[in-house]
């Protein structure tokens, strides 16, 4: 088992990465949390697959646990779902010594973290991500929250988990499309922070798609290391951490416009990354073949690189104006000039965005 330390002083925690962690998860959670009463928040499918294993492991470690399932999907990542969970926790008499454990993908993790941050002004929180996307992204760094009708993640809190448990064996039951969606965030980590890692992903997409165990462990650990280092340097996204939003500006807008029903989050981020690469090209600072290389590696991973049919560049630009990264009327945009060299720009005009989106439709 590999252990990656997220060193945030008094809020520091470990990310455990390895095969078949779930049967011993209780011991790891008991060592990280003070309480002995837990609620496992999951969705119906993941609950059936892994809820009993996790609850049994907690019981063996002296922790009483209940499993609560919430509906699956981004459209249920709402304050209404959060309110229903508050009621369940009250009914179960969970006090400030309780532990909220998110067992599932990014939606479950975000909701569980937000509930933990706000219920009784804060209870312990553990992430047990079961999707590739959540393992390398949503479970690390303490971003929690829910969506509003007018945009994604507009209500939330920074709230760090006590520990993160990444069991590689659960990826064996992950549907192909969801696995590929997770690769979008992995590719993002390479292009924003590590050119050699990005090159590895370009050259090894075949064995990664076959879920080769050694390749999976390598990319998951490397992505966790990259994200952890960024979070250590900038926990609350005041500076460096903003580079983790690469591809999310246009990606979130596309998700919103398609009602969170057409695309998975990773698929939208893939589209958004190509948009950002074309923006950098329009601004004259990017490597000439950056957008092509990025589109190729994403396509090799089975991810979309064009806007969904029926979406206009103008509609996407208008939706971006509601993005939470708008500050002082300016939309902060993460751009990359070459793999491993990301920066934040606040001078990308709507006209440049429209040109990039129009060019993307012709790819």
Residue 302 has pLDDT above 80, yes or no: yes
DSSP 119-182: GGG--EEEEEE-SHHIIIIITSS-EEEEEETTEEEEEEEE---SEEEEEGGGGGGS-HHHHHHH
Give tens-digit pLDDT for 133-180: 999 999 999 999 999 998 889 999 999 999 999 999 999 999 999 999
Catalytic residue ranges: 121, 143, 185, 227, 237, 241, 245, 248, 252, 265
Give tens-digit pLDDT for 336-352: 999 999 999 989 999 99
- 259, 46 in Cβ contact below 8 A? no
The Cα 114–Cα 13 span in angstroms is 18
Of 111-115, 258-262, 271-275, 324-328, the least confident: 324-328
What is the reported pLDDT for 288? Answer: 80
DSSP 173-242: GS-HHHHHHHHHHHHHHHHHH-HHHHHHHHH-HHHHHTT-HHHHHHHHHHHHHHHHHHHHH-TTSSSGGG
> Mind listing the domains of the chain with CATH numbers?
2-172 (3.40.50.1970), 176-360 (1.20.1090.10)
- 125, 162 in Cβ contact below 8 A? yes
> The tokens of 5 are what?
């330390």
What is the reported pLDDT for 151? Answer: 86
What is the reported pLDDT for 177? Answer: 97
- The neighbour count for residue 93, using CB atoms within 10 Å, is 8
Give tens-digit pLDDT for 34-60: 999 999 999 999 999 999 999 999 999
Give alpha helix (H) positions in 283-327: 290-300, 313-320
Using pLDDT thresholds of 50, 70 and 90, give the confidence band for residue 327.
low
Residue keyed to tokens 């009250």: 90
φ and ψ at residue 68, rounded to 5 degrees: -120, 120
What is the reported pLDDT for 83? Answer: 98
CA distances from 191 to 158, 184, 196, 199, 274 (A): 25, 11, 9, 9, 11
φ and ψ at residue 43, rounded to 5 degrees: -115, 170
Instruction: Evaluate the CA torsion angle 51, 56, 58, 59 in order and state its sign.
Output: positive
Question: How long is the chain?
Answer: 363
Contacts of 351 (CB under 8 A, 6+ apart): none
The Cα 227–Cα 335 span in angstroms is 17
Give tens-digit pLDDT for 233-276: 999 988 899 999 999 999 999 999 999 889 999 999 999 999 99
Instruction: Evaluate the CA torsion angle 323, 268, 14, 21 in order and state its sign.
Output: positive
C-alpha triplet 311, 241, 305: angle, nearest 5°: 25
> The tokens of 41 are what?
């928040």
Mean pLDDT over 285-296 rounds to 91
- 262, 37 in Cβ contact below 8 A? no
């Amino acid at each position: 088992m590999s252990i990656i330390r997220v060193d945030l002083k008094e809020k520091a925690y470990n990310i455990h990465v390895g095969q078949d962690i779930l049967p011993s998860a209780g011991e790891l959670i008991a060592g990280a949390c003070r309480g002995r009463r837990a609620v496992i928040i999951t969705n119906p499918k993941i609950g059936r697959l892994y809820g009993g294993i996790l609850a049994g492991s907690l019981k063996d470690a002296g922790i009483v646990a209940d499993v609560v399932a919430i509906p699956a999907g981004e459209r249920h990542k709402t304050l209404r779902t959060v309110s229903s969970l508050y009621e369940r926790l009250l009914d179960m008499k969970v006090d400030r010594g309780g532990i909220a454990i998110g067992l599932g993908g990014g939606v479950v993790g975000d909701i569980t973290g937000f509930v933990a941050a706000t219920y009784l002004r804060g209870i312990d929180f553990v992430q047990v991500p079961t999707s590739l996307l959540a393992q390398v992204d949503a479970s690390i760094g303490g971003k929690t929250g829910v969506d509003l009708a007018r945009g994604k993640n507009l209500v939330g809190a920074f709230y760090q988990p006590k520990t993160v448990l990444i069991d590689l064996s659960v990826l064996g039951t992950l549907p192909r499309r969801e696995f590929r969606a997770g690769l979008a965030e992995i590719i993002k980590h390479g292009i924003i922070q590590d050119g050699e890692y990005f090159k590895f992903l370009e050259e090894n997409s075949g064995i990664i798609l076959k879920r080769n165990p050694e390749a999976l462990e390598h990319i998951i650990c490397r992505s966790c290391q990259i994200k952890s280092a960024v979070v250590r340097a900038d926990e609350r996204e005041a500076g460096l951490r903003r580079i983790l939003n690469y591809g999310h500006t246009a990606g979130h807008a596309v998700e919103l416009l398609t009602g969170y029903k057409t695309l998975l989050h990773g698929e939208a981020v893939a589209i958004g990354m190509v948009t950002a690469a074309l923006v950098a090209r329009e601004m004259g600072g990017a490597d000439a073949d950056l957008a092509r290389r990025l589109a190729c590696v994403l396509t090799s991973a089975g991810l979309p690189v064009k806007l969904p049919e029926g979406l206009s560049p103008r509609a996407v630009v208008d939706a971006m104006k509601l993005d939470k990264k708008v500050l002082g009327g300016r939309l902060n945009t993460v751009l990359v000039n070459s793999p491993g060299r990301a920066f934040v720009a606040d001078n990308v005009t709507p006209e440049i965005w429209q040109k990039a989106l129009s060019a993307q439709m012709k790819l």
